[in-house]
Structure 1
Amino acid sequence: MKTAELRQKDVAGLQAEVKELQKAHFNLRMQKGTQQLSNTSQLKATRRAIARAKTLIVEKQAAAK
């Protein structure tokens, strides 16, 4: 998901997105462990997407104060 799309969500929506991305990342790690993952670059992409969403959560919380 692009940063512009994430910026349109509220904090609760971003937290739900982080949970969804963490589940996806966990599933990718399990696939890698069982030698079923062919495209390992997905791990890096989901890790960065999680970081992007968490950064926006912190930004929105700081702006609300």
Structure 2
Amino acid sequence: MKIQEIKDMSVDQLNQELVKFKREQLNLRFQVASGQLDNTSRVRFVRRTIAQIKTVQHNKINSVKGA
């Protein structure tokens, strides 16, 4: 997911995506622990995407409060 796609989302959409990626992160952790994960770069991608979503979400909320 590209950062511009994340920036174009509403706060509600960001919340939904955050839940989706956190669920995927949990599943990836289980796969790593059980040795079933083939694509280890997916863990990094999901972690980075969660951080990007949280950052954009925080910026949107603060811009609304500051306006």
TM-score, structure 1 as length reference: 0.95
Letter aligned with residue 29 of structure 1:
R
Per the TM alignment, residue 30 of structure 1 is displaced from its structure 2 partner at its CA by 0.6
Per the TM alignment, residue 5 of structure 1 is displaced from its structure 2 partner at its CA by 0.6
Per the TM alignment, residue 29 of structure 1 is displaced from its structure 2 partner at its CA by 0.7
TM-score, structure 2 as length reference: 0.92
Total equivalences in the alignment: 65
Quote the residue 2:43 is aligned against: 43
Q: How does 1:15-26 map to 2 (within 5 A)?
A: 15-26=15-26
Identical-residue share of aligned pairs (%):
35
**Structure 2: any 5+ residue segments left out of the alignment?**
none
1:8 aligns with 2:8: yes
List 4+ stretches of structure 1 deviating above 6 A.
Answer: none
**Structure 1: any 5+ residue segments left out of the alignment?**
none
Q: Deviations 1:3-50 (Å, cap 9, x if unpaired)?
A: 111111111110110000000111111111111001211111100000
